[in-house]
Chains A and B, each alone.
Chain A
Amino acid sequence: MAENKELTKKEDLILFLSDTDEREGLLGKKNRKLLSDPLTDNNPITVQVLGICSALAITVQLEPAIVMSLAVMAVMAFSNMIISMLRNLIPSRIRIIVQLVIVAALVILVDQVLRAYAYDVSKQLSVFVGLIITNCIVMGRLEAFALGNGVYKSFLDGIGNAAGYAFILILVAFFRELLGAGKLFGAQIIPDSWYEAGYSNNGLMLLSPMALITVGIIIWVQRSRNRSLIEQN
């Protein structure tokens, strides 16, 4: 009997779904919230102010922004799952290093796979794939969520936060490419007649500071719509 009890305990350690998950169903209300919250009131960029650096760097054009979002999504989903699986085994003193090793390994893997099977995309993203390692959102979610929650929930949390990141990235890239280069996905949108009439592209939009200002405007709009996000002090 005693042996049996120990076994079930051990199984609990690496069980994919915690008790509450099983009762709730795969896309129950709480799980849906994990996906939808980061898109709105708990957005990693505009509310938690994480991952700003890459939001500045790769939002000059839409296409790299989208591919970068997908790469971040893959890395976040898998790193969240792996850390969550190991959460009861990781020694707490070296947990940050363990997280870094896992994230770095996944990023290198994504980079290698892209280079072999999606060569053009990997060239377009160049350095930024490597920089996913330093994206604060990834480490932030590992620390804040994956270390304390089940594997499936962590997976949803990873997808949700990456989607929140993607949403802002794509929005910023949309405005920067449209106003800075008059293009979307590399195709000219602003008609030639506008240029002839004196319209000119705003070159400033292509520089990093304007990404920050665009993010600032998005934060402004978001907080004026949802006043509970405004800090009281």
Chain B
Amino acid sequence: MDRNSNAYTFIFAVILVAVVASALAFAATQLQPAQAENVKNEKMQNILGTVGIEVSRDSAAVPFDKYIVERIALDSKGQEKTEVNAFEVDLKKELKKDVEEQSFPLYVANVEGAKYYIVPLRGKGLWDAIWGYIALKDDVNTIKGAVFDHKGETPGLGGEITQVWFKKRFDDEKVFDESGNFIGVSVAKGYQGGDNKDDNAVDAISGATITGDGVTDMISERLERYLPYFKNKTNVKVAAN
């Protein structure tokens, strides 16, 4: 058959695309369980990481069940939604809904008698989604720990938000200011505060300003949604407004 004829070109293209597509579809379905397992275990590992329990990804399931005593899904008014499985809530989908319809997952950890509230975060970085988890001590003001992750930030720049030295900066930071107004924690460029833990700010990463701003926005936007729930807790100093 003439290799330059239209018919040959057409048939070649159809066969090539069919072969490639089925090969990829086959590979994707074969690898999918292993990938989903990685994602699930990593989620448990990240949640545990915020309260200072470091486990390897593969062995996260057992300590997760041990330390995470409650998994609650809340509505926008702070009421529990009993019909929703908090661990299965996909923030990516939730964020596309109206605030009133979203579910807000909350994990309660009990580590050697101390109670922590772990809030999942999700927002926008420079290129794509960023997300993370932030654990608050039971005054719901002091941060116990945080972890961050991203889909497509530049390795070495915005991608550095996953690093230990960056997340350590959030330890013991406060999310309320001194008069009790909710602020969050801002990732500040040219930060001069040193080890000051009461200024609601941490030092940013050079070359990653927009990713840092994304972290700031994500923390304040997400945590604010949980204020109605925390207001019902007596030991929380939430401003009157």
Residues of A participating in the B interface, judged by any CB pair closer than 8 Å: 57-58, 60-61, 64, 89-94, 97-98, 101-102, 105, 108-109, 112-113, 115-117, 119, 123-128, 203, 206-207
Contact = CB atoms under 8 A, between A and B. Distances in A.
B155 A115 contact: no
A117 B34 contact: yes
B155 A61 contact: yes
Contact of B155 (A91, A105, A126): A126
Interface stretch (B16-24, B80-88, B172-180, B219-227): B16-24
A229 B4 CA distance: 39
Given A102-B20, A112-B27, A119 B206 contact: no
B95 interface: no
Contacts of A64: 155-156
Given A60-B157, A64-B156, A113-B31, 18 more contacts: A57-B155, A89-B3, A91-B3, A91-B9, A92-B3, A94-B9, A94-B13, A98-B13, A101-B17, A102-B20, A109-B27, A113-B27, A124-B155, A126-B150, A126-B159, A127-B127, A206-B157, A206-B207
Interface string B95-139: 000000000000000000000000000000001100000000000
A112 B34 CA distance: 10
B35 A116 contact: yes
A108 B13 CA distance: 19
Contacts of A207: 207
Q: Which 6 pairs show the lowest CB-CB distances between chains A and B? A: A60-B156, A116-B34, A116-B31, A91-B9, A119-B38, A127-B152
Contact of B153 (A91, A105, A126, A206): A126
A112 B28 contact: yes
A108 B24 contact: yes
A93 B155 contact: no
A interface: dominant SS: helix
Interface string B194-213: 00000000000011000000
A108 B26 CA distance: 12
Contacts of A92: 3-4
A115 B35 contact: yes
B207 A93 contact: no
Contacts of B24: 105, 108-109
A58 B12 contact: no
29 contacts: A58-B155, A58-B156, A60-B157, A61-B156, A93-B9, A101-B16, A101-B17, A105-B20, A108-B24, A112-B27, A112-B31, A112-B35, A116-B35, A119-B35, A119-B42, A119-B57, A123-B162, A125-B155, A126-B150, A126-B153, A126-B159, A127-B127, A127-B152, A128-B155, A203-B206, A206-B157, A206-B206, A206-B207, A207-B207
B156 A101 contact: no
B233 interface: no
Contacts, number: 82
A8 to B, nearest CB: 19
A94 B13 CA distance: 8
B190 to A, nearest CB: 12
B38 to A, nearest CB: 4
A89 B35 CA distance: 36
A108 B25 CA distance: 11
Contacts of B42: 119
Given A101-B16, A119-B38, A206-B207, A60 B31 contact: no
Nearest to A180: B156
Contacts of B13: 94, 97-98
B61 to A, nearest CB: 16
Contacts of A126: 150-153, 155, 159
Nearest to B15: A89
B141 to A, nearest CB: 32
